[in-house]
Amino acid sequence: MKLIVGLGNPGRSYEGTRHNIGFMVVDRLARELGTETLQWKQDAHGKALTARAGEVMLVKPQLFVNNSGIAVRALADMYKLPPEDIWVIHDDIDLPLGKIRIRVQGGSAGHNGVTSILAHVKSDRFVRFRLGIGRGKEDVTQGTRRNLHHRSVIAFVLSRFRQGEAGTMRHLIERGTDAVRGALMEGLDRAMQQYN
């Protein structure tokens, strides 16, 4: 079985934010992989919403992004899954809006949700579908630019996509869904060749 985990924050106030792009992709996967009877349900530990379609378990952790690893570990233990069967879909501020990269192992690149999963799963051998949400920048003096400082990064990832980005966001959700579905059907290597 594959555990397909979309990262995001629970609650209405976070719907549609950049940090919740993982939730948006697994919601679309649920519609495309499932039947009319496929529904999100609270897991046995009360830490995630899950929806199962055959050998695929879709997951939306409900502990906020920074604590996602707790829910992922509980489900991996329950189903006795190795790290290789955990696929994580998350936003990536360092990728341009609309870009997708698939990575099989490595560090967190500063993403707190991935850091939490690394800490709780105790392995880096889970798959990451990194979805570019754009790099926020701010102007400082006389046209020079610098990366947003920590508080501004948080504000950026928790912001909603601007009206001018709506089409790119919808396309990113569609391509992210296609990437995961393609990897399930044709294998990770084929998906990586197509999207990386």
Show Cβ contacts of residue 172 under 8 Å, excluding neighbours closer than 6 positions: 21, 97, 98, 100, 131, 132
- Euclidean distance between CA atoms 99 and 63, whole angstroms: 27
Q: Using alpha carbons, select from 128, 114, 29 the residue that is nearest to residue 84.
A: 128
Show Cβ contacts of residue 174 under 8 Å, excluding neighbours closer than 6 positions: 28
Residue 150 among the catalytic residues: no
How many CA atoms within 13 Å lie on the side-chain side of 2?
21
- Euclidean distance between CA atoms 104 and 107, whole angstroms: 10
Q: Check: CB of residue 127 under 8 Å from CB of residue 82.
A: no
**C-alpha dist (Å) from residue 184 to 78, 85, 91, 161:** 21, 11, 20, 28
Active-site residue set: 19
